[in-house]
Structure 1
Amino acid sequence: MIRSLLRRLWHLPAQQCRSQVEPGWVTMRDGIRLSTSHVWPIDYQGDAPTILIRTPYGAEGAWSSSRLAARLIAESGYHVVVQNVRGRYGSEGVFQPFANETEDGVDTLDWLERQNWHQGKVGLFGGSYLAYAEWCMLAQASERIDAVVSAISSRSLYHVFYRGGVFALQNAFEWGLTVGREQSIPEREVDLERGLKHWPLIEGDRVALREVPWLREWIEHNRKDEYWEAIEPSLPTSLPPTLLIAGWYDFFLPTQLDDFHSLQEIAENNQSPAPELIIGPWSHGLPAHPKWWRQELNGFILRESIQHLNRTFRESKSDIPAVPVRYFSAGDEHWHQSPTWPPAEIQLRSLYLTARSGKGSLSWESEKETLDSTLGFTHDPKRPHTTLGGALFGSKAGVKDQSRVNKSNEHHLVYDSKPLQTELALVGSIQLNVFFSSDAQDADIYAHLLDVSPDGRIENISEGTQRLRWRNIADSVATPNFLAPGQTEEVQVVFAPTARTILAGHKLRLEIAGSNFPSYDRNPGSKEEPGLATDDQLLKSEHLIHHGVNADSKLTLSIRPNHRV
């Protein structure tokens, strides 16, 4: 009944057969047994490849999302194996996030190939952690895998936990605490707010719930050292037909796009099918705005996945995408297609930061200020700047009205453009280059790009952040490059990519601050390690943004050229 309803609601392909669940165990090379269910396609007439799903979130119960997806896929004519990863929901062993998925995944493939019902073809399906587990198998056994669907995930975890060298505090704490040891912990049992505010940060887990080893490891390893290298799967040597599904307000987006470009290169070198990419109006699991409710993510992923599997295994000619890349653009509210990402026709154009009468503005080149000027703001770790929405978990994420945030003007700068005369289509990368000085030895620059409508609503488009002790340094280098107080230098801040059409009459706004708490951890304003600094080691600092002929601070946008200013 439930599956029939979801099949209609999500516009899934018609049911081909019934399904039946057979629980069991798979033994790993070290003797640990993992709880594994085989979902059979009952009475299906035809070849039935096997789809493998490995999850830390529970594969049992009628309401398990993995079990539900497994049955819907099986009823499209596939064998589906759904497995609880090590230490989770009945599987033996100890759960250590990301540590055992390569060996356990390969051992499961070995077991699968020995089953008399297996017909030789294997596909991988999953999102988030489930998709990370796919990357681990793909790295070691790509020649044994025939199709991949990887949603809202990536292989490079360091750059998910650290953006511009700044710790993604709220996401790390929320997932690290609630994932639990053997099963997920309800959010109501975790005092997340208290843990996020605690100094030193590394003890915030104990304040919120209890000591969590992996959360402390993420804080301690703030550079891309051997810890992160050990859990970053290598790129596959060959590429089966692969579909990547991403969201504009998902924290995996930047690294997932990096993965897409790497897979494109592998496909070209091996003359394999080009990977497909879909970027939609989603955060991590939900539509990023209530008006996009029709773009419900779980149903979209399942529908596109079954179609991808049918194209791969059954040479289905229906719903074949015309080009490899499809992306949703907010503002014009349309899906677009492109042979590449970013689209080849994209042009780069800069808005220059200027200051007039003590107020910041954004100006196209013809309006650039010719006189040098500065605007200043304060960073106080005890009174940090904050925003709403963005690349977070749950309903907190996505597009939010920033006019509802109570902000202190002294803690951030605002730069507004003039109202646009015509639509402006932003599609692709965004980068801020600012000339910056401070009285501190370390600082963070947080930059927020916003869409200001004539009715006063202010919606977040994208954001970027950079910890300046790590500016112009490779991620693997652990020796910081501290600021020289009072010295001006150019700093680069990279934003998450976007696709949004700014309507005529709207303004672009850039906000610059020294923090975005609790999304990111707070800089103590000193040489102290942010994760280890105590309350008495926090320093208030004063920052300056420089503009003019000798300080060409600018925001570089990617613009679809059929939309002009």
Structure 2
Amino acid sequence: MAEGWTAPEGRPARGARWMRATWRKVPKGPYRVGCEAGLVVPGADGAPLLTDHYFPRTAGESRAGAARPDGTRAPGEFPTLLVRSPYGRGAPWAPLYGILFAEHGFHVVVQSCRGTGGSGGAFHLWRNETADGRATVAWLRQQPWFDGTLGTIGASYLGYTQWALAADPPPELRAMVTQVGFNDPHAYFHAGGAVHLENALVSGIGMAHQHQGWRPFLRAALRLRRWLRGAHREPAPHTSGPAAELPWLAEALERPERTDPYWRDASPAVAAELPTVPTCLIAGWQDVFLDQNLAQYRRLRRAGCETTLLVGPWTHNAALQEGWPEVFATSLAWLRAHLCGDRAGLPPTRVRVHVGGDGPGDGGGWRDLAQWPPAAGAADRWYLGPGGRLGPRAPAAAAAPADTAPVGEFRHDPADPTPSLGGPVLSPGAGRRDNRSLEARADVLTFTGPVLAEPLEVLGPVAARLRVTADGADGAPAGRPFDVFARLCDVDARGRSVNVCDGLVRVIPRAGAADSTGTPTAVVAVVPMTAAAHRFAAGHRVRLQISGGAFPRYAPPTGHAGAGPVRVELHPGSALELPATAEPPTAGR
């Protein structure tokens, strides 16, 4: 939040120390912590980057880099962690990284990215992070306390600044820890073909206001909440509201095509193809960056890079709150192993995931796995049938024209868009929620499987493969893009329907695609629903939820305001794709 989380006498400020005291499940380190606040580090073009330096005090020390009472310091005693943030250097970064890791024996450098938190220059979503990161490392080399051993750590955009540095890693960089972080800006704003409106705007106001303190940030959040209520009536999301006030955000939202030159060099995914920096990836099943973390894990493994993956039951914010003891322990063990040579705390396998479930004794909890996903092969298909049925067997072949009737249809009205509920969003209300109120709407279809006689475990990627057609509510061909939102839910014996994973894809109708009678030809819409680690308990049911959007999480197609409703039909052959049954995990608890 606001600057001022460091005190002039060289100690972290009282607010940061108070926040550290609230984390009773996080073990306290052996060192007292000192701080040098407001250091000025020259960026790539000389722009001043404000920086705070936290350091462990040994007996007799009074300032950073001071020697021991006998005049010596053991070489390599305190490696350095670099944290680069566009959200200021105060809460939560000062206590999360500055204090906690310094008291465990690390120098921690927390820096505001250019154009944010008092640093000079203008902020851009990605263009400056590689060069400014390397300039900061050049500054570190000149510090008497820097021993040449460097690691990086951070969450969200703080993960992106790590990948930017690792795209051309300095020789000192020995380890990375990305916590619910991202590496692909285009995918964050536009994956699936739709603007990820709510998350994009929440990120924007965070970068613009979080460092100013909680009051300005709260006022901006309330303004955003009010604006979002009517955002479906706006002609385009970048032309008004919060996005119009942030030029970098408006630029990103108005360029949906990945091939647009604007996005060139935006994603440093190449860093995951260089097996040079051992990397710990920490993700959450309900986090907005889950897909990106799993994709980076696959790239790292293909490149032969030493890597580990931890996926917890968290939303984006919960990973740094109730999930923090687990996240901190995993991060600290990785950094000690690669910066200090102490590998005793590393997990026994490279993958550890939390398997969710709602049944008593459901067999969920933490699992140690040899790989992710734990098994490869053709997906198991559960087919959609008339009357909202869902089953693992394909319907019988059509024997008469009547059998080719749609298995379901819904009417999506842009003037009253289907609301979003829970799931991987940055705003309050994220995560797993009871979906019964949403499923009661006429514009939401549900297809539900039989009561399970035994538990069903889903470990891996989930998708819906749907055969769809669309036309205007008056029967005229729609002729315009429309969205299909799919969500996997776990239904318990009381009928409570809880979301597991979901996704959206924008469908572009093919011009002139119709049969001899003029009936539109069905389009196969594949809706990736990220991945899941979930155990459906015996007595529960599997449900697939289908609708025409999730607003304001996703912005409707441009031009839909005032365009009238669209009727979407689902045809036989549509199916839910679940990962093939996995082999037993190597260990469980």
TM-score by length of 2: 0.83
Q: State the match for 1:19 in structure 2.
A: 33
Give how far 1:561 is off: 4.3
Q: Contact 1:354–1:369 at 8 Å: present in 2 too?
A: no
Give how far 1:10 is off: 5.2
Q: Contact 2:150–2:339 at 8 Å: present in 1 too?
A: no
Deviations 1:15-53 (A, max 9, x none): 222221112111123221111122122117741111111
Give how far 1:414 is off: 1.5
Q: Contact 1:205–1:215 at 8 Å: present in 2 too?
A: no
Pair 1:154–1:221, CA change in 2 (3 A) = same
Give how far 1:64 is off: 4.1
Q: State the match for 2:236 in structure 1.
A: 202
CA–CA distance in structure 2, aligned partners of residues 535 and 562 of structure 1: 49
What amino acid is the match of 1:412?
V
What amino acid is the match of 1:79?
H
Pair 1:342–1:454, CA change in 2 (3 A) = same
Bigger shift: residues 190-199 or 201-210: 201-210
Q: State the match for 2:409 in structure 1.
A: 376
CA–CA distance in structure 2, aligned partners of residues 369 and 16 of structure 1: 70
Give how far 1:302 is off: 2.2
Give secondary structure in 2 for the equivalent of 1:146.
Answer: strand
Q: State the match for 1:457 in structure 2.
A: 496
Bigger shift: residues 7-16 or 137-146: 7-16
Deviations 1:456-505 (A, max 9, x none): 21100111211112x9xxxxxxxx97976722232211111011101111
Q: Contact 1:10–1:303 at 8 Å: present in 2 too?
A: no
What amino acid is the match of 1:58?
G
Give secondary structure in 1 for the equivalent of 2:168.
Answer: helix
Q: State the match for 2:364 in structure 1.
A: 333
Give secondary structure in 1 for the equivalent of 2:388.
Answer: strand
Q: State the match for 2:575 in structure 1.
A: 554
Q: State the match for 1:492 in structure 2.
A: 526
Q: Which among 370, 389, 392 is matched to residue 361 of structure 1?
A: 389
TM-score by length of 1: 0.86
Establish whether residue 40 from structure 1 lines up as the match of residue 55 from structure 2: yes
Give secondary structure in 2 for the equivalent of 1:191.
Answer: helix
Give secondary structure in 1 for the equivalent of 2:335.
Answer: helix
What amino acid is the match of 1:17?
Y
What amino acid is the match of 1:78?
F
Q: State the match for 2:325 in structure 1.
A: 299
**Alignment of structure 1 residues 510-521 onto 2, 5 Å:** 510-521=544-555
Pair 1:349–1:182, CA change in 2 (3 A) = closer
Establish whether residue 428 from structure 1 lines up as the match of residue 465 from structure 2: no
Pair 1:210–1:445, CA change in 2 (3 A) = closer
Q: State the match for 1:71 in structure 2.
A: 99
Unpaired runs of at least 5, structure 1: 288-292, 472-479, 524-529
Q: State the match for 1:540 in structure 2.
A: 565
Establish whether residue 261 from structure 1 lines up as the match of residue 298 from structure 2: yes
Give secondary structure in 2 for the equivalent of 1:262.
Answer: helix
CA–CA distance in structure 2, aligned partners of residues 413 and 203 of structure 1: 27
Give how far 1:7 is off: 7.1
Give how far 1:122 is off: 0.3
CA–CA distance in structure 2, aligned partners of residues 363 and 162 of structure 1: 32
Establish whether residue 49 from structure 1 lines up as the match of residue 79 from structure 2: yes
Q: Contact 1:127–1:150 at 8 Å: present in 2 too?
A: yes
Q: Contact 2:381–2:576 at 8 Å: present in 1 too?
A: yes
Q: State the match for 1:214 in structure 2.
A: 248
Give secondary structure in 2 for the equivalent of 1:135.
Answer: helix
Q: State the match for 1:152 in structure 2.
A: 180
User: RMSD of the alignment, in Å?
Assistant: 2.7
Give secondary structure in 2 for the equivalent of 1:186.
Answer: helix
Identity in percent: 29
Give how far 1:149 is off: 0.4
Give how far 1:160 is off: 1.6
Q: State the match for 1:187 in structure 2.
A: 218
Q: Contact 1:59–1:67 at 8 Å: present in 2 too?
A: no
Bigger shift: residues 157-166 or 399-408: 399-408
Q: Contact 1:95–1:182 at 8 Å: present in 2 too?
A: no
Establish whether residue 233 from structure 1 lines up as the match of residue 265 from structure 2: no
What amino acid is the match of 1:54?
R
Pair 1:191–1:138, CA change in 2 (3 A) = same
Q: Contact 1:17–1:75 at 8 Å: present in 2 too?
A: yes
What amino acid is the match of 2:567?
E
Number of residue pairs matched? 524
Give how far 1:144 is off: 3.1
Give how far 1:3 is off: 5.2
